[in-house]
Homo-oligomer: A and B are copies of this chain.
């Protein structure tokens, strides 16, 4: 941004710095951040110092750096994700009480599945998804719902593009995937056995806002052996409840 041989904006660099943090890397030294964000050492120190100054980053007991509560606050307080989550949470709890495994809420973001909320039972099975984590659209049950109801242009791009296998059972054949998506639209529910992890089955339904547009996917992750019928029923009624809560918001 500013000057000298870089060719990037300050904004881009800030994003690159924030990107270096994830669930496995919540605290880092400034030098580490610089390396991962591909910034010269002195630049990294200056940028990080600026972000700390503004509260977007914080320093722990002298030394390392972590994401600041101020960033968390600014990102959430005006966000649509929070509204959606708040509307959905009570219904997710109800699903959770019945199904006793993993219940999660996901949205479409930049051609991927982004998980917004997740409730887990203490004794629930495997599940690699995380809040604020991503998965490809064609792999997870939530993603299939979002893709099936997403813009046609995106659907065609995904069907054309390379379909990487997340697990051995991931659907990677475009023709088959197209049939699966048609099925999702027809049935209003998708059952995806083993497409993310061999031992789990995902079940997902669409969540619609007032006018019927699909804004999210609600899903549960079950062990492969569990029957999916009751879960699908619980999801369907929860999705209806969330839609009502979203619709009734504005007078």
Q: Which residues of A contact B (CB under 8 A)?
A: 1-2, 9-12, 14-15, 18-19, 21-23, 25-26, 47, 50-51, 53-56, 66-67, 69-83, 86, 89-90, 93, 107, 109-110, 114, 119, 122, 130-134
Contacts and interface: CB of A to CB of B under 8 A. Distances in A.
Given A80-B66, A89-B119, A131-B76, A14 B11 contact: yes
Nearest to A130: B77
Nearest to A115: B73
Contact of A9 (B50, B73, B86): B50
Contacts of A26: 78-80, 83
A25 B78 contact: yes
Copies in the complex: 2
A78 B22 CA distance: 4
Contact of A86 (B2, B110, B131): B131
Contact of A53 (B2, B11, B71): B11
B78 A23 contact: yes
